[in-house]
Amino acid sequence: MLDERQVAEEVARKHQAHHPGDGAGKTTYFNLISGQLAPTGGRIALYGRDITGLSASAKARRGIGRAFQLTSLFPNLSVLENVRLAVQARARIGLDLLTVWSSHRGVNAEAERCLERVALAAKRDLTVAALPHGDQRKLEVAILLALRPRVFMFDEPTAGMSVDEVPVILDLIHEIKQDRAHTVLLVEHKMDVVRSLADRIVVLHNGGLMADGDPAEVIASPIVQQAYLGLPADGEGGDA
């Protein structure tokens, strides 16, 4: 359980990476921000506005978007259909989400652009069930793009991807970062990914805040190295 004194989070124009170990509290942390879990204390603010008591759907309408670590896709629909549903949900087009698409050419076009950005355009007509795990992760990111959030929440976005697939997602997150209207929150165990993306690192340990600040300073912290990199508390005994 997260320490209630540390539940409060100001989601602002910063690009944070959260580096947890298993059981550190990162899933609870993301659930609190996205609204899947209601806090028992503390405060969550989005660009200065209190959103603590809002539901997940209300937070999504205010611009919080989350790509889940575990896939939450429609396996029997095509890749394109999954993204089209996200575009329609955002635009609130029609009550029948599987209506005749010829009347919604803009929806198709936007869905296809999202697939192109994650290198899945060639697989647009495949069912999700036919995709390998790495492609399903990329599809989740495409759906997140289709929702056009202000805050992008990525939970280990490269998990399950091959070495060749990883750069596509990392380059896309870099691209999102360049837009100052967006905030990126990233949970990641891989330090090379954290170093390449984060402007700020928050380290969680046993449900509490261990470190928070500049990436170089946090990574060099003796307590972080001891807890996560297996080094002695004085920082000696190996490379970070």
Q: What is the pLDDT of residue 27?
A: 80
The reply to whether 173 and 139 lie within a common domain is no
For residues 211 and 27, is the Cβ–Cβ distance under 8 A? no
The reply to whether 140 and 166 lie within a common domain is no
- Domain membership flag for residue 68: no
Q: What is the pLDDT of residue 180?
A: 76
Q: Is 114 helix (H, G, I), strand (E, B) or coil?
A: helix
Going by C-alpha positions, the residue among 160, 165, 224, 162 that lies closest to residue 18 is 224
pTM of the model as a whole: 0.78
- Domain membership flag for residue 187: yes
The reply to whether 132 and 168 lie within a common domain is no
In whole angstroms, give the CA distance from residue 2 to residue 15: 22
**Which of 148, 166, 186 is a domain's end point?**
148
User: In the predicted model, is pLDDT for residue 42 greater than 90?
Assistant: no
The reply to whether 169 and 99 lie within a common domain is no
Predicted confidence (pLDDT) per residue in 176-190, tens digit? 988 878 899 988 888
Going by C-alpha positions, the residue among 217, 208, 190 that lies closest to residue 19 is 190
Predicted confidence (pLDDT) per residue in 67-118, tens digit? 865 557 999 999 999 999 999 888 775 545 555 444 567 889 999 999 999 9
| Total tally of structural domains belonging to the chain | 2
CATH number at residue 30: 3.40.50.300
The reply to whether 90 and 158 lie within a common domain is no
> Residue 18 has what DSSP assignment?
E
More confident residue, 204 or 144: 144
As to burial, measured by CB atoms within 10 angstroms (0-12 exposed, 13-18 middle, 19+ buried), residue 101 is middle
Enclosing domain of residue 91: 73-148
- Domain membership flag for residue 166: yes
